[in-house]
Structure 1
Amino acid sequence: MKISSDHWIPERPPYMLKPLKPIPAVATVSCLIDEENSCWIPETVNAFFDSKTAEYIMRIQISRHGGDFVRWPHTKHGLYTVRSAYNLVRAEGFFVERSRRGRGTSSAVANDEKHWKNIWKINAPGKMKIHLWRFAQDCLPSGVQMQRRQIPTSDACVFCGREEDVAHAMLLCQFAMEVWRLVKRKYMIQLQRHDLMSTKYWLFEFLANATELEATVLAVGCWYIWEARNDARNNRGHPDPTRTSVKILAYIDMIIQQCFKAKPSNRRETDVAPRWSPPPPGVVLVNSDVALFADCRQMAMGAVFRDSEGKCLAAASLPLQGFTSPEMGEALALRDAVMIARDKGFKNVIFVSDCLSLIQRLNSPAPDRSEVGSVVKDIKTLVAGFFSANFRHVKRCLNEVAHILAKTCNLASLGFISFSVPECIRKTLCIDVC
């Protein structure tokens, strides 16, 4: 793999690489790797790249039990699918088209994703949430949209005769405004129509500040207003705002009865807290966790090894190289825990972690070529040497003992592997077995 011409840094395509020193065209990435220890050579990496690029490189985990592989970054497991490629092409085409029209695109894509999720959280039938999503995307068959698609029909609003786009039909038409006025008599929903420059961002802003009930009112209201508009447009009578508002209020009342039920007063104050479960006799249970220290951009792992009687056989608290995503940190912590278990001669082991996505990757028979894939492969290769090894997910409260070890790691030292109980987790261990 060539340093200068191949795309080997996820955050840095080849055309963005600007080495501090000339790099021969034939130089390969292996020149930057300590192959004996399966790690990067920090001095070499820092000598040729700026600090930001060097940090990106140091984040890439090098598999200790496998070679290079091609990763498709647009799926969860890094495997190419036609569907992901189709979605990628559609997304790129959308952004190019908006740019061509001079409308621009949002740079906060991740933030937009959070707002889109707010739509699917609304307590309303799926058809109403999809309708609201189409409203935000401006892909409902309004008069303006039909004209845009060159469908021979009028773009005038059926109620007031003005140009009909989705914002007009749902919020600004005299019919819609009268319906919302009647709905507001019972539910004091503030639509803030004067801020309506973009249906998408208006909806994002509304849902970000709305209560669960207000979001439900909006979804149901928009559905029935559009239904009334369709009835009028298709000559199925002339809808009355009062009748439409009655439908909306009745449907909202039904949703409230089903989804906003008051909690019974005689229920227990607290649920029974989950308890630590010991492994079967002859099996070692290993808890592992990672702690990320954002201020100094470092990570540390913690691991505890216990038998069926709850006795602590070993405990580890070790610093980890680099600073990366939480899932990668969890994978590195678990890999270290597996190596410690192997070195100590444990043959029947259950490894537990509070990172569900990592456990799912480890229990999946499918190859993993994601960012975490190299570490997942290492773990699977390592456990092949055990008589039996299982991976299980536990809640965070059942992994507290490992998290304490990770948080209390001395980052300035080499950490420790102890065969006696560290004082920092003694109390938590006693609580687990009580």
Structure 2
Amino acid sequence: MAAASEEICAFLQLVSGANRENNGETVENKEDATDNVMEKSETRWNSIWKMQIPPRVRAFLWRSAQHCLPTRANLLSRGIACDDSLSTQQQALVAMTLWSMWKSRNAKLWESTDTSPSYIVTRAKDALNEWSCMQRAKAPIHNKNSEHAWIKPPVGMIKCNVDAAAFDNNSVMGYGMCFRDSMGVLLLGKSDFYYSSSTVLEAESLGLLDAIKVAISHGMRDIMFETDSKILSDAIAAATIPINEFGDLVTHCRRLLLSRPDFVVSYVRRQANRVAHNIARASLSHPSPHIFHHVTPTLYPLIFNEMN
């Protein structure tokens, strides 16, 4: 494959640079050079044509060599107006992808490490998402409206906020949780992700179920669980349960809650669930599962603001 890539590069350079190489020569030399170029071009093109790739890719190489791809410059030269502007988000993703490709190039050059194209794209998306989460966390948060702000639990009780997030067109689900005491001090945080075609609602339910299990395994008592999913909180208290995957998860949650009357589940607005939301959004940036007992730099501004 490396040899094929070299052939492609040499071929494209040959075709695009043939005219420039012949500038300033005599007529006889130009004719000889043209014959030589045509002979080399034919040899290299035959080599490329024998490559085991789809015909449409061979056609793409030929069109690229002939400068007849419908690029913006070619379209404009034919009087065809085109809007190639990208949104701010698209520009950021393109920049991150180029950065990720450069890292893979250096890894191959200096460490002989191969990187798959899917990993290059995934790394770019994850790095951009983590950076965006950090920027949002750094932004000052003014909780002037206490109705929608996170509220500390009563003395002697613990509050656990839970949230979920979807990635890669819902092919990856992540969730996060945060246990804090009556002073707002972090006791335990956890994030996890899994590859599945489940819904965000199911991920919210799985996050709540895991949070209940974590509380039980750590011997915690008097826990107030909060979720920003109204459907989930209503299903926990409802008389009937849906007969589907979501219903199965709700059933598991209710069984554990019945054994622990000091555990309660309630609904809060998203504005009061920011910490769990940020943990869930950053779940892909950590091992699965990821448990921590100290405030991370990305969460510090949020937690500090809510403590005060």
| TM-score where L is the length of structure 1 | 0.36
| Partner Cα separation in structure 2 for residue 322 and residue 339 of structure 1 | 21
1:161 — aligned with what? none
- Structure 1: give runs of 5+ residues left out of the alignment: 1-269
Which amino acid in the other structure matches residue 340 of structure 1? Answer: V
1:80 — aligned with what? none
- Structure 2: give runs of 5+ residues left out of the alignment: 1-142
**Residue 338 of structure 1: which of 208, 212, 226 is its match?**
212
Deviations, residues 316-363 of structure 1 (Å, cap 9, x unaligned):
011134132121111111111111111111121111100001100001
Deviations, residues 17-54 of structure 1 (Å, cap 9, x unaligned):
xxxxxxxxxxxxxxxxxxxxxxxxxxxxxxxxxxxxxx
* Contact 2:171–2:195, Cα closer than 8 Å, also in 1: no
Shift of 1:387: 4.2
2:265 — aligned with what? 391
Shift of 1:369: 2.2
| Partner Cα separation in structure 1 for residue 195 and residue 293 of structure 2 | 24
Q: Name the CA shift for 1:296/1:366 in 2 (closer, same or farther; >3 Å).
A: closer
| Partner Cα separation in structure 1 for residue 247 and residue 304 of structure 2 | 36
* Contact 1:287–1:351, Cα closer than 8 Å, also in 2: yes
Shift of 1:280: 1.5
2:190 — aligned with what? 316
**Residue 272 of structure 1: which of 145, 150, 155 is its match?**
145
SS of match in other structure, 1:302? strand
2:234 — aligned with what? 360
| Partner Cα separation in structure 1 for residue 171 and residue 285 of structure 2 | 11
Runs of 4+ in 1 over 3 A off after TM superposition: none
Is 2:159 the counterpart of 1:282? no
1:351 — aligned with what? 225
Alignment of 1:351-430 (within 5 A): 351-410=225-284, 413-430=287-304
Alignment of 1:245-264 (within 5 A): none
Which amino acid in the other structure matches residue 246 of structure 2? Answer: V
Q: Name the CA shift for 1:345/1:321 in 2 (closer, same or farther; >3 Å).
A: farther
Over the aligned positions, Cα root-mean-square deviation in angstroms equals 2.1
| Partner Cα separation in structure 2 for residue 411 and residue 428 of structure 1 | 19
Q: Name the CA shift for 1:296/1:272 in 2 (closer, same or farther; >3 Å).
A: closer
Shifted more, 287-296 versus 391-400: the winner is: 287-296
Q: Name the CA shift for 1:321/1:386 in 2 (closer, same or farther; >3 Å).
A: farther
1:74 — aligned with what? none
Q: Which has the higher contact order (CA 8 A, sep 6+)?
A: 2
Deviations, residues 213-268 of structure 1 (Å, cap 9, x unaligned):
xxxxxxxxxxxxxxxxxxxxxxxxxxxxxxxxxxxxxxxxxxxxxxxxxxxxxxxx
Q: Name the CA shift for 1:328/1:289 in 2 (closer, same or farther; >3 Å).
A: same
* Contact 1:300–1:411, Cα closer than 8 Å, also in 2: no
| Partner Cα separation in structure 2 for residue 271 and residue 374 of structure 1 | 39
Shift of 1:374: 0.3
* Contact 2:173–2:200, Cα closer than 8 Å, also in 1: no
SS of match in other structure, 2:284? coil
| Partner Cα separation in structure 2 for residue 334 and residue 282 of structure 1 | 21
Which amino acid in the other structure matches residue 398 of structure 1? Answer: A
| Partner Cα separation in structure 2 for residue 411 and residue 285 of structure 1 | 25
Count residues in correspondence.
165
Alignment of 1:83-94 (within 5 A): none
1:52 — aligned with what? none
SS of match in other structure, 1:375? helix
Which amino acid in the other structure matches residue 406 of structure 1? Answer: A
SS of match in other structure, 1:420? coil
**Residue 306 of structure 1: which of 166, 180, 196 is its match?**
180
Q: Name the CA shift for 1:305/1:271 in 2 (closer, same or farther; >3 Å).
A: closer
Identity rate, percent = 24
Q: Name the CA shift for 1:296/1:383 in 2 (closer, same or farther; >3 Å).
A: closer
